[in-house]
Amino acid sequence: MIDECASEKKQLSSIAEALARISSAIEPVTETERVELKHGLGRVLAEPVYSAINSPFERNSAMDGYAFSSTDLIPDQTMSLTQVGISWAGQPYQGSLQSGQCVRIFTGAVLPVETDSVVMQEQVQVKASSIIFPAQTQAKQHVRAAGEDSKQGDLVCAAFKKITAIDLGLLASVGIDRLIVTRKVKIAYFSTGNELSALGQPLVSGKIYDSNRYLLSGLLSDVCYQVTDLGVLADDPLQLEDCLLAAAKNHDLIISTGGASVGDADYIKDVLARCGKVDFWKIAIKPGKPLAFGNINDCHFFGLPGNPVAVAVTFQHIVAPALEQLCGTAMSQPLQLLARCTSVLKKSPGRQEYQRGIVSQANNGDLVVVSSGQQGSNILSATSLANCYIVLPIECSGIQVGEQVRIELIKNVASSVISY
Ligand code: AMP
Ligand code: MG
């Protein structure tokens, strides 16, 4: 007798196996383009960036106060120095200083060469041009050294880094105004299914609205992607084949939803096998088991399931890492946190589940997670309420109230962690 469960288990790939196969199949794009720094946010650097200057450019004050030479200090005694000028941010003091003299200085202003220390203005007494320094005045305080942030020639951003807002600030601080980045990845996507109806017309019996293309357009909203919406295709192998062959000519990746399972109207796997190559098509996750990966000539292909929640889960865990590699960055793993679960969660062993949850943070810092509602792979309403996935490993057979679970924060959700 054939053990169907055992034979299905053999066919299923884990996420790690799937990602390893994707990683060895995908070469990052090699073409590059030059962008102005202000357009660099989210792009992937194609080359390392080195500092053009010392940053700070010159020694300057970290405080509003008075700059003086530490050679004037007498240990444990107050001292009086004569103020001979002012060093403003952007307008350094131009004169020179003798022993017994100091200058008024403001944050960011260059220290005169004869000085090496700054005292905060709150700590001195001002009597006309005499500045009385307290006995506990320290030498060499509140001075920022030239190059203490980055030295000229230092690596400031490594190649293949995805540029963040902080990086934009850092790169500007060292005088970089243009970046060489990897070119945008060209992605085409479409929905399949005879039941799909366009928005803007009333539904007739048997039809549903096509939510997946809208969901995908949101998931694919990234400055590194140039996307083409190919619309809705019928469950028709010839139409699917024509579309795949045409789109493969001028895209790096095609994503379809629906028709990836084993029903009589599910043609994606067969069509892909005819016009390209299928690498695998079942992954041990829920939702999202039926998933095809392969290629048509030089174009990669993901055939995602039809159910919208399965589209979201497989995109975020399988397609997004593949896109990271295609864009030139390293594949990243979602950060998992521990939380105490306050719902009973049903599960059968066999697949890793991504149940939808709402995580909040108690006053003591502990994370508490509750199920966001119905867990069917078609249930978008409870997924919309969720701010995290509750990740239940393959062997888990359910969760009781109070058990610790792993969670992953869902990207692209409006509600982040809620505090109470
Ligand atoms: P399939 O994998 O094509 O058998 O689809 C699985 C389930 O997902 C079915 O209930 C489909 O009606 C539904 N589905 C497929 N494509 C979409 C779509 N674009 N939007 C919403 N639901 C879909
Ligand atoms: Mg279908």
**CATH number reported for the structural domain that contains residue 400 in this entry:** 2.40.340.10
CATH number of the CATH domain containing 177: 3.90.105.10
Residue closest via CA to ligand 1's atom 14 equals: 306
Q: Which ligand is nearest to the CA of 303?
A: 1
pLDDT of residue 390: 98
Beta carbon of 263 within 6 Å of any ligand 1 atom:
yes
Residue of 274, 277, 388 whose CA lies nearest to 334: 388
Answer yes or no: do 408 and 386 share one domain: yes
Q: Provide the pLDDT for residue 411.
A: 77
Evaluate whether residue 226 is within a structural domain.
Answer: yes
Last residue of some domain: 281, 299, 327?
Answer: 327
Ligand 1 center from residue 258 Cα (angstroms): 5
| Distance of alpha carbon 343 from the chain centroid | 30
Is residue 115 in contact with ligand 1, taking CB distance under 6 Å? no
**The pLDDT of residue 420:** 44
Residue 95, Cβ neighbours under 10 Å: how many? 11
Which pLDDT value is given to residue 289? 84
Torsions phi, psi for 268 (to 5 deg): -55, -50
Closest CA to 311 of 295, 291, 294, 326: 291
Q: Which pLDDT score, from 0 to 100, does residue 22 have? A: 94
Q: Are 320 and 330 in contact (CB under 8 A)?
A: no
- Per-residue pLDDT of 3-59, as tens digits, reads 444 455 557 888 999 999 999 999 999 999 999 999 999 999 999 999 999 999 999
Residue 378 alpha carbon to ligand 2 centre in Å:
13
1 domain residue, yes or no = no
Residues 215, 323, single domain; the answer is yes
Is 154 a pocket residue for ligand 1 (Cβ < 6 Å)? no
Cα angle at 363 between 362 and 367, to 5 degrees? 25
| CA-191 nearest atom, ligand 1 | 19
Q: Does residue 2 form part of some domain?
A: no
Taking each helix axis from N to C end, the angle separating 237-248 and 268-275, rounded to the nearest 10 degrees, works out to 50
- Please give, one letter per residue, the 3-state secondary structure of 357-411: EEEEECCCCCEEEEECCCCCCCCHHHHHHCCEEEEECCCCCCECCCCEEEEEECC
Residue 116 lies in a domain: yes
Domain containing 372 equals: 337-419
Q: Provide the pLDDT for residue 32.
A: 98
* CB distance 276 to ligand 1 below 6 Å: no
- Residues 273, 187 within the same domain: yes
CATH assignment of the domain containing 140 = 2.170.190.11
Determine if ligand 1 sits within 6 Å of the CB of residue 112: no
Convert 283-338 into a string of H (helix), E (strand) and C (coil). ECEECCCEEEEEEECCEEEEEECCCHHHHHHHHHHHHHHHHHHHHCCCCCCCCCEE
- 348 Cα–ligand 1 center, Å: 24
192 Cα nearest atom in ligand 1: 16
Residue 66 in any domain: the answer is yes
Per-residue pLDDT of the chain (420 residues; tens, 9 = 90+): 444 444 555 578 889 999 999 999 999 999 999 999 999 999 999 999 999 999 999 999 999 999 999 999 999 999 999 999 999 999 999 999 999 999 999 999 999 999 999 999 999 999 999 999 999 999 999 999 999 999 999 999 999 999 999 999 999 999 999 999 999 999 999 999 999 999 999 999 999 999 999 999 999 999 999 999 999 999 999 999 999 999 999 999 999 999 988 888 889 999 999 999 988 778 999 999 888 999 999 999 999 999 999 999 999 999 999 999 999 999 998 999 999 999 999 999 999 999 999 999 999 999 999 999 999 999 999 999 999 999 999 999 999 999 999 999 997 644 444 444
For ligand 1, say whether the CB of 377 is within 6 Å of any of its atoms: no
User: Residue 320: which of 191, 162, 167 has the closest Cα?
Assistant: 162
| 327 token code pair | 């864009």
pLDDT value at position 412?
63
Number of domains in the chain: 4
Cβ–ligand 1 contact at 208 (below 6 Å): yes
Query: Which residue has the least CA distance to atom 16 on ligand 1?
Result: 306
The H or E element that residue 230 is part of is: strand 225-233
Instruction: Say if residues 155 and 48 touch (Cβ distance below 8 Å).
Output: yes
Task: Give the residue carrying structure tokens 């700070």.
Answer: 56
Q: Is residue 385 part of a domain?
A: yes
133 and 165 fall within a common domain: no
**Rounded CA gap, 204 and 367, in Å?**
45
**pLDDT score at 9:** 54
Pairing of strands 290-296, 337-341: unpaired
Give the position, in ligand 1's atom list, of the atom nearest the Cα of 235: 3
Pairing, β 285-286 against β 208-209 = unpaired
**Residues 97 and 199 placed together within one structural domain of the fold:** no
Closest C-alpha residue for ligand 1 atom 11: 306
Query: For residues 22 and 137, what is the distance between their CA atoms, to the nearest angstrom?
Result: 62
Q: How many residues does the chain have?
A: 420
Question: Cα separation of 392 and 286, whole Å?
Answer: 10
Indicate the residue among 327, 346, 379 that finishes a domain. Answer: 327
Q: Are residues 47 and 67 in the same domain?
A: no
Q: Is 210 touching ligand 1 by the criterion CB < 6 Å?
A: yes
313 lies in the same domain as 187: yes
The helix/strand count (H/E) of the chain reads as 9, 27
Q: Name the residue of 191, 208, 210, 269 to mutate for ligand 1: max ligand atoms within 8 A of Cβ.
A: 208
With respect to residue 300, please indicate whether it lies within any of the assigned structural domains: yes
